[in-house]
Amino acid sequence: MEENDESEIIEHHDDEEMEKRRNHAHSFLESVTSSEKDGHSSTQSSHRLLAYSDALIAIIATVMILPVAHTKFQNNEELKESIQSLLTTKVSVYLMTFLIVTVAWAAHVRLFQVISHTDDTLALLNLACMMLITFLPYTFSLMATFPDNVVGMVFFCACVIVIGLIQSSIVLYGFRHPFLLNDHIQMSENPAYYKQHILKVIMKVPIMCIFAIIFSFIFFQLSYVILAIVIFLPYISQSLKWIRNKAIGGQVEDDADHVLFYTYHPSEPLSKERVEAFTDGVYAIVATLLILDICEDNVPNPSVVNKEFNGSLIAALQDYGPEYLAYFGSFATVGLLWFVHHSLFLYVTKATRLMGLFNTFSLAFVGGLPLAYQLTNEFPRGSRNELEAVQISCVIIFFAGLFQLAIWIVALFNERETLHPYVRYGGQEHTFMLAKLSLYPCVALGTFLLTCVLSQFSAPIFHIMEIGVPFAFLLLRLLVRVALTLLKWLFGLVRPDVDRILVVEDDPQLPINDIVA
């Protein structure tokens, strides 16, 4: 058979040569080469499998915003009360679901940092796992709607247990076929130790869920406590550890602790590629949430147009005006927040867990944006409802932007490991990155304060902000340079030593002329 293969290769030698010259054969070569080497013809690079999983999980994470977004407000009722009743159930369900799905996603990322190649069986097992993860939000919202009923809890825990079992079988399958594992474990002297450790970590959650089910029949409150521990312990412990490390000052590398929580690989943080893929998925679905509704609901009925508007389609469409405005506004804001994230992650070399946590928080707020924008355009001009809707939008934008800024600030604490030199302290892109990241929080804060003062003009102020921000981004390099020159000139008169920091920005190579031209 080996010879048979070789003769085939010689036969098609010319073609192979041709193929290799093509640019786009690259990913293909990557995906098949390793399997050819080992002789395992069914082994595949897991890249596309993971991209598909990320897209699925991103959609599912944001799905619980739909019941919130589709809540209809009566114009005559006070928005504040509606918002408060929403806050108690739907918004908290949305936020909790988002975090739960993110935890499931993080576990999936860890798992496939161990399993670096897939074959057909693993791909099918992964699809089964995905099917159950996509069902999690529904079981959770059942649980939230019927907090006193055992059924919701049992469904939710059963889902988590089955997911755990499937993930364990993926691990077992992987360790039976070591060529699927990553190099680090493949080369290690004691893979059995890894196997045991990983299985222990994965099965911890399902086992706690079994206890939660048992307690739900005996002592109900306790099962909620167990679930809360399961979901938030990794986050809390991580935050505490980070704060402790900062307080002590020393970089205590506590591997033993690392090993205890999810991190199968002590040295390896969340895969940056997958953080990006998941983030892209969330931004993509959030950006299009409003157009989904518009396409479904805002095509007027021909008979209605004939009856009510004398056949004038334009008159009928004018009714929907605010919704188009909401769509374009939210698309632009989500798109620009994505753009800021994209710019930041170009210079991030490693995404630590805390950075991942802040990214999750930022995404959770981004998910609320379409809702906020829809509210902003729904109420009569100058009403108190409108003012509050505008302010809620500003708060959401502020926090979404602030957590993005927080990612960078956390990264700066460990800049040697996490950031490219360009955006570190004194790097040539440092100030520009700061401007990019702080533009939205500053603008949102400014708009919020302005609407407090000039509450009658809240909507016009908000719309001016919507229109202005894209141009601000387009001209940001110019603005930063102008601001720096001004600062330099001002401070230069007082303290000439500021020059040293600012001169880094004065790179004539900076393609500022690209933007001005």
Write out the binding residues for its own copies, residues 461-500 only, by CB under 8 A.
470, 473-474, 476-477
Site for its own copies in 306-345 (CB under 8 A): 313-314, 317, 327-328, 331-332, 335-336, 338-339, 342-343, 345
Distance CA 58, CA 279 (A): 7
* Integer CA distances (angstroms), 440 to 83, 227, 393, 400, 401, in order: 24, 36, 12, 9, 6
Given 34, 210, 258, 300, the residue binding its own copies (CB under 8 A): 300
Residue with tokens 């992987």: 174
> b/e for 265-294, b at 16 or more Cβ within 10 A?
beeebbbbebbbbbbbbbbbbbbbbbbebb
Region binding its own copies by CB under 8 A among candidate stretches 251-259, 267-275, 375-383, 404-412:
267-275
Distance from first CA to last CA of the chain, Å, rounded?
Answer: 63
Site for its own copies in 90-119 (CB under 8 A): 119
Element (H, E) at 269: none
Given 105, 112, 283, 448, the residue binding its own copies (CB under 8 A): 283
Please report how close the Cβ of residue 384 comes to its own copies at its closest, in angstroms. 29
Region binding its own copies by CB under 8 A among candidate stretches 140-148, 216-224, 459-467, 478-486:
140-148
Given 34, 78, 95, 135, the residue binding its own copies (CB under 8 A): 135
Please report how close the Cβ of residue 155 comes to its own copies at its closest, in angstroms. 9
Residue 271: φ, ψ to 5°:
-65, 125
State yes or no: residue 504 binds its own copies (CB under 8 A): yes
State yes or no: residue 1 binds its own copies (CB under 8 A): yes
Largest CA distance in the chain: 83
- Which DSSP string corresponds to 404-467? HHHHHHHHHHTHHHHB-GGGSTT-TTHHHHHHHHHHHHHHHHHHHHHHHHSGGGHHHHHHHHHH
Please report how close the Cβ of residue 351 comes to its own copies at its closest, in angstroms. 9
Site for its own copies in 151-180 (CB under 8 A): 151-152, 176-177
Element (H, E) at 44: strand 44-45
Residue 311: φ, ψ to 5°:
75, 5
Q: Closer to its own copies at the Cβ: 31 or 239?
A: 31
Q: Closer to its own copies at the Cβ: 382 or 426?
A: 426
Site for its own copies in 51-80 (CB under 8 A): 51-52, 55-56, 59-60, 63-64, 66-67, 70
Please report how close the Cβ of residue 450 comes to its own copies at its closest, in angstroms. 25
Secondary-structure breakdown of the chain: helix, strand, coil percentages, each rounded to the nearest 5 = 80, 0, 15
Q: Closer to its own copies at the Cβ: 50 or 103?
A: 50
Please report how close the Cβ of residue 460 comes to its own copies at its closest, in angstroms. 22
- How many residues make contact with its own copies (CB under 8 A)? 121
Distance CA 441, CA 462 (A): 14
Binding mask 185-224 for its own copies (x = CB under 8 A): ----------------------------------------
CB of 97 closer than 8 Å to CB of 141: yes
Given 349, 438, 455, 485, the residue binding its own copies (CB under 8 A): 349
Site for its own copies in 7-46 (CB under 8 A): 8-9, 12, 15, 18-19, 22, 24-25, 27-28, 31-32, 39-42, 44
**34, two tokens:** 């390793």
Please report how close the Cβ of residue 381 comes to its own copies at its closest, in angstroms. 25
Please report how close the Cβ of residue 405 comes to its own copies at its closest, in angstroms. 18
Site for its own copies in 395-434 (CB under 8 A): 416-417, 420-422, 427-429
* 261 burial type by CB count under 10 A (0-12 exposed, 13-18 middle, 19+ buried): middle
State yes or no: residue 296 binds its own copies (CB under 8 A): yes
CB of 286 closer than 8 Å to CB of 331: no
State yes or no: residue 4 binds its own copies (CB under 8 A): yes
Given 37, 48, 244, 246, the residue binding its own copies (CB under 8 A): 48
Distance CA 380, CA 367 (A): 25
State yes or no: residue 369 binds its own copies (CB under 8 A): no
Distance CA 2, CA 12 (A): 16
Integer-rounded Cα Rg, in Å, for the chain is: 27
